[in-house]
Structure 1
């Protein structure tokens, strides 16, 4: 069954409208991934207020499906939550000037030794827009094959294991509360919706712009 409301989004869209900032300073920097910026915001017709913002380089995630619609996952230790989570291949956009798709290709290779010939965009998301600039683009990758060379993993990644699971089972585990990685949750539900709605060919091309992120 076709779902035109899924295909065209029913005209729903976020709208830009950045409020003026009268002052901004970096109050903490790790020198690694994040820093904390303190902005004083001047809303029109209202009182000024201060917000601390976690500045983040952004990330990419990859929902990689084989020809049987099995999803390629990795199990990785995540110290802040004390769990070994099942996740799609994903990582930071920490290479200067790297485009989203190239970041996705790199993460898929580094974490699973896999490459893909067919790329589409599943989801663009601000992970926690009330407190961080972190934004993530989640791709759908298909037509998978082994990469030409292996990547040496370090730290948490050295302990990763690869898991193949049918997409329908991943979605079921998400809805049952068994899988909690946000990239997996967003990506699996979006892939399932596309598969059972307008189809994967309706998804945006991999090089589509992200106007909200580029403001």
Structure 2
């Protein structure tokens, strides 16, 4: 549990948990952190069997669960893509009417699936991935924004071949990520905890600039 807590930040009073749902431990950590919340919002987390298992447990515990994601697959080509499509359909049925799960073909940027400040509500916990694009969507959902955030998110969601140029956010975050240690598959904690801390620094910078402007 302590290992997971390194990947938690607070955005303007709301806890944000980072998880890729790669193991049963990820599920258990998120459930333990989110159980006491009135509302659990998943942003940009692909619908996988482990995510479904987590959501099922939260719903069973009477948490109000909302999912906003753009990783559905319209025309699955392999086993994993078929799995995501099946899980996406199930998540829509399992969660609240506020859930929106779309594909990147129909919704390039996850930030476009949330309104500014939509989930800045007391007793809310947000769960997302430790990625810049999902961080931007989470920031918007919690009311920490800047001009051009949606456009930056769409650029970051696009494949490298499709990108016309680098966004302000990408340039800024790349500058911050220079401080990251090399990723070690056998010991990823140092890299990921440092990345989460840099994300918190980025959010604080945007927050301060917003209030100063």
The bucket for the TM-score relative to the shorter chain is under 0.3
| Structure of greater Rg | 1
Q: TM-score, normalised by structure 1?
A: 0.27
Q: TM-score, normalised by structure 2?
A: 0.27
